[in-house]
Amino acid sequence: MSALSVIKSIWKIINLIREIFLNLVFLIIILLIFSGIALIKEVNKKEVIPQSGTLIMDLEGVVVDNSLYSDEIYEIQDKIYGKRVNLSRENSLFDLVQKISQATSDPNIKSMVLKLDNFVGADMSSLQYIGKYLTNFKAANKPIYAIGSNFNQSQYYLASYANKIYLTPLGAVSVFGLSANNLYYKTLLDNLKINTHVFRVGTYKSAIEPFIRDNMSDEARSNTSRWLNLMWNNYLGDISEERKKTPTQLVPLPKDMLSELKAANGNMAQYALANGLIDAIATNHEFELEINIKNRVSIYDYQLKENVKPTTNEPKIAVVFVNGTITNGENSSNVAGSQDIVAQLRNIRKNLNKNNIQAVIVRVNSPGGSVDASEAIRNELEALRSYQIPVVVSMGGMAASGGYWISTASDYIVASPNTITGSIGIFGIVPTIENSLSHIGVYNDGVSTSPLAHRSITQNLSNEMNQFIQMNIDNGYQTFISLVAKARNMTIEQVDNIAQGQVWLGSEGSKNGLVDKLGDFDDAIEMAATLASISDYQIDWQKQEGNWINALYSDMIAMMPKSTAEVLFEQLPEIKQIKQQVSFWDKFQDGQNRYIYCINCADIK
């Protein structure tokens, strides 16, 4: 056999293998497509679940203003993996309160049970908003019961609205206080010989402290202590009012608490009962026998009734969400992408008459982010206002730094008493690794036509570049306080006194001029309707669905066998904080290295 024949035979075999491989890939794709279609059809076959009896609020995961993932995505996950507890599930705050509101007037719903063991938490503003609707439910002569094994502070806050709270015999109520902690990396960066160039304006602008200090500065400690203690007092005041007990009865001073716990032989359930935190100790079985629930409907199975009103000519109030760190690009979980938000606002502006949009609510729940991204959103809001469309900002748990920058382009600001706001300041941070490289014998050298012409992570910043960036940061701060001064009818000096990066709660913001009214989302809707001079209207939620493939991928990772990763990310919350702060560098891609962001605002426990 000739060499040419051998080559031809080998080539035929290669072609055969290639065709078999491609056909297999094609077959797998076809199977996946048909499987996906069948799965979606299966999900769309709504199981007929009775919508009567006792509403069980069996929340899983966290409550957020705007979940990018619909209930259908979670249903698909359940079909693939089987029904299981999902602690990473995102629950829409507004879907939740709409369901409670509907159940309040629904004659088929007789009572409610708060079963919150798998509820991870929510910010204080969201908890208060849910509490308002639980109060309305009780006012309709419909009792609420709560049962738990280990109430965390978010769980207990909601449970305090119940007519009666039950705790399992070995359970506990962990209501001890709030803390705001951060990790600091100065020594680590020094050991790695990373040179961190920091540019900032604002005595209290603590966002960059983790990278230049090993501890919290006195200024940041004083500022954080002030608003954190105020928030804690608000928490105690709310549960005290619901439980008809004084705050010191419910949560004694540590010394008294330890003494009382010792008297109860360390039994946390007996301690909670003695202090009035709960009403009864019972197993889950005993609880069910006492309450005598005949029919139960999960909050996830309880369906909202479709709006049967015509939608063509009725005035609308559009709601746009700014939820998470503000960056350029697309929305994702905990990220407010200016690209998507600007597109939503522009679409509203271009279709005002077609869609009969009469007002816009901007729901801000953000610690800030990039100046460029924040400004892009603010500019689009200003464009809307030029069409005589009133813009009302509804502040959620947080509207600080870039969140407040955006809020300046509004006609009215409504904040919760516990909204974290302010943090009016700006900073820039540029790391360089020339010392790290030189330590291992690597150097960077070359020529430039100007000290400003070349900037690299592998070279130290020139004196001229340092001056250039600092002047840009100074200008950014002046722009920020000027925007606030103009929006709030204040002088530059007045704004500067409450700026400098200082963080305020909404209750303080209403006193120092940063907020127009203390209230919730309903108050913001009412104000938008008033400014637009409309009475009958619909709410047009500007929601963008998340990528379901990403959701399934995240869920697959969560379903992997227990590993070291689970221990680190679930048992050691500090590791989550490291991940969050490392992602700080990845998320921030401002062209001029200018950031309006409040790191300390985002980690409250």
3-state helix/strand/coil string of 508-564: HHHHHCCCCEECCHHHHHHHHHHHHCCCCCEEEEECCCCCHHHHHHHHHHHCCCCCH
H helices present in 184-217, as ranges? 186-191, 209-212
The catalytically annotated residue of 99, 205, 316, 587 is: 205
205: helix, coil or strand?
A: coil
Catalytic choice (154, 206, 401, 423): 401
Are the C-beta atoms of 595 and 500 separated by less than 8 Å?
A: no
Report, in angstroms and rounded to the nearest whole number, the Rg of the chain calculated over CA atoms. 28
Number of C-alpha atoms within 13 angstroms, CB side, residue 566?
8
Q: Which uninterrupted H or E stretch holds 162?
A: none
**Residue 398 DSSP one-character state:** E
Q: Name the amino acid, one letter, at 451.
A: P
Residue 162: which of 287, 334, 305 has the closest Cα?
Answer: 287
Beta strands, E only, 35-143 = 53-57, 61-64, 90-92, 109-115, 119-121
**Distance between CA atoms of residues 352 and 386, nearest Å:** 12
Q: Look at residue 360 and give its three-state secondary structure.
A: strand
| DSSP-derived pairing of the beta strands 426-432 and 195-201 | antiparallel
- Specify whether 401 is catalytic: yes
d(CA 439, CA 456): 18
Catalytic residue IDs: 205, 401
